[in-house]
Amino acid sequence: MQAGVTVIDHPLVKSLLSRLRAADTSPGSFRRHLHEISRLMTFEATRGLGSREVQVQTPLSEATGAELVRPVVLVPILRAGLGMLNGILDILPDAQVGHIGMARDESTHRPATYYCNVPADIGAADVLLIDPMLATGHSSAGAAARLKEQGAKNLRFVCLVACPEGIAHFTGEHPDIPVVTAAIDDRLDENAYIVPGLGDAGDRYFGTP
């Protein structure tokens, strides 16, 4: 996959995103729809992952098939990224899962990692960094930088809704990392919420502020 931003143009993704956006979607439906859209988005997010030919024996003869070259590591950014995890794991059940938590350092105003647990051999893997909302881009760009420090080389960032400000920041810091999203919305508001967006993805998924 080329570096740059891919917006998934698919009617099923668009209709699920519309249900996620609706303010009157119940917490249960929000969870189900986030799970489902994350499953669907995995096909685009994994497009072009390295694969090699393998020979398989069918009941009738040999066939040439394919297998992924590298293991896949999923890294949700805590906590909202967890909402997309299980849907992606439905499609990649053997993926390893790391976790990363980002907070704003009040003295430097820069994103600081408060938790990071990823496989030691992350450099040998294809890594999907996951967070539903690419808002300011500070936490996702900080998380990607931390994963690179840990040795990650083949990174992709998967989000649900992005905005121009977040894309500019993330791709400015990480021009090498492809971004896959279901939508690019209009703007950030003064509270750093994406407009029109869907509100706070973590709050809506977990039912707690």
**Interface with ligand URA, residue 194, by CB under 6 A:** yes
Question: Which residue among 31, 39, 104, 113 is the active-site one?
Answer: 104
In the residue annotation, 156 being an active-site residue is answered as no
Q: Under DSSP, is residue 184 helix (H, G, I), strand (E, B) or coil?
A: strand
- Which of residues 40, 91, 200, 206 is near ligand URA by CB under 6 A? 200
User: Which 86-105 residues touch ligand URA, going by CB under 6 A?
Assistant: none
Q: Which is nearer to ligand URA, 119 or 137 (CB)?
A: 137
- Which of residues 118, 135, 152, 179 is near ligand URA by CB under 6 A? 135
CB contact at 8 A, 130 and 76: yes
**Interface with ligand URA, residue 206, by CB under 6 A:** no
- Which of residues 118, 133, 141, 180 is near ligand URA by CB under 6 A? 133
What's the rounded Cα separation, in Å, for the pair 63 and 61? 7
Q: Which two tokens stand for residue 22?
A: 């609706």
Dihedral angle of Cα 182, 91, 154, 47, to the nearest 10 degrees:
-60
Q: Which is nearer to ligand URA, 55 or 208 (CB)?
A: 208
| Whole-Å CA distances, 175 to 3, 45, 57, 91, 178 | 7, 17, 42, 27, 8
User: Could you tell me which stretch among 41-49, 142-150, 172-180, 187-195 binds ligand URA (CB under 6 A)?
Assistant: 187-195
User: Which 20-79 residues touch ligand URA, going by CB under 6 A?
Assistant: none
Contacts of 14 (CB under 8 A, 6+ apart): 182
Instruction: Indicate the pairing of strand 51-57 with strand 194-195.
Output: unpaired
Separation of CA 199 from chain center: 18
Question: Which residue among 19, 21, 39, 200 is the active-site one?
Answer: 200
Q: Which is nearer to ligand URA, 27 or 65 (CB)?
A: 27
Residues catalogued as catalytic: 104, 108, 200, 203
Chain positions contacting ligand URA, by CB under 6 A = 80, 133, 135, 192-194, 197, 200-202
